[in-house]
Amino acid sequence: MKKIFATLLLLATLALIACTSSAPTSSPAPTTAPAPAPQAPKVTGTVTVFAASSLTEAFNDAKAAFEAANPGATVTFNFAGSSALRTQLEQGAKADVFASADEVQMGMAVTNGVIDGAATHFATNRLVVITPVDKKIASLADLAKPGLKLVVAAPEVPVGNYARQSFASMNGKLGLTANFSTKVLANVVSNETNVRQVVGKVSLGEADAGIVYTTDVTADVQAKLATLAIPTEVNVLAIYPIATVKGAVNAAAARAFISFLGSAQGQAILAKRGFGAAP
């Protein structure tokens, strides 16, 4: 009897071992790969930018970088004086972006209903005196000498407005006379419609001096021009605003281009061409 009981106990043990070994084993929970970081949406199509003449080189650099980041997009430019560009927009010219060299022209564009939303600042600039290399002037006082031929932009053009502000701030300062600006403006022989025309006339020797932005003394004219710095205390900070045009055909690309200019990459492109950061 004991022998039978021992045999039954052995069989029961073996059966229990078999059941345990055949039970399914749990496997570790599968791991989920992290989701890829979302990519900035790309824009496509043509974006037409009306931009101040002084932005020519910097914006062409920005165009190349922007199109590389957005292979389906194409940037086209209309460069001119900011006042002329604003007038074109008010007369029905089609554009997606307006980049002005001052807040006056942008403010007028907003008031006259051609801008969509608020403008943002994206760059700054400063003024400098330029002269032909063979007609260098020694100091700012020389700008008031009778007979000097001075070329500036027209008063409604941002650089022309800035120049007149700078002349006025020089009155009675830096050893200059109290009526210095009056004497300087008496020497103006031409009021140009944009800053590049001022550069052109001076570089060709058609004037003794001109007032332009520091960024306009580009590599292609440096050999023809000498410069005379305008001290900060009597210089003017040119502030550049930019905005989407009302009725823009490609508003998405317009906003993307404006955003690009404000990015680290866009600001580096502008700085390489001599522009200061937005205030």
DSSP 273: T
Average of per-residue pLDDT across 166-183: 98
Question: What stretches of 78-221 show up as alpha helix (H) in DSSP?
Answer: 82-90, 103-111, 158-170, 180-185, 195-203
Decide if pLDDT at 3 tops 90.
no
Tell me: the pLDDT tens digits for 113-132? 999 999 999 999 999 999 99
133-142 in b/e burial notation, b at 16+ Cβ within 10 A?
eeeebeebbb
pLDDT tier at 136, thresholds 50, 70, 90: confident
* Domain ranges, ordered by start, for the chain: 45-125+239-272, 127-234
Average pLDDT over every residue of 144-171: 98
- Indicate the CATH number for domain 127-234: 3.40.190.10
Judged against a pLDDT cut of 60, whether residue 12 lies above it is answered with: no
pLDDT class of 40 with cuts at 50, 70, 90: low
CATH class belonging to 45-125+239-272: alpha beta
Same fold, 45-125+239-272 and 127-234: yes
Indicate whether 164 pLDDT > 50: yes
For 189-235, the pLDDT digits (tens) are 999 999 999 999 999 999 999 999 999 999 999 999 999 999 999 99
Q: What value, to the nearest 5°, has the Cα angle with vertex 158 and ends 157 and 164?
A: 95
**Which pLDDT score, from 0 to 100, does residue 195 have?**
97
- Prediction pTM value: 0.84
Does the pLDDT at position 15 exceed 90?
Answer: no
pLDDT (average), residues 73-90: 98
CB 139 within 8 A of CB 184: no
Contact yes or no for 245/116 (Cβ under 8 A): yes
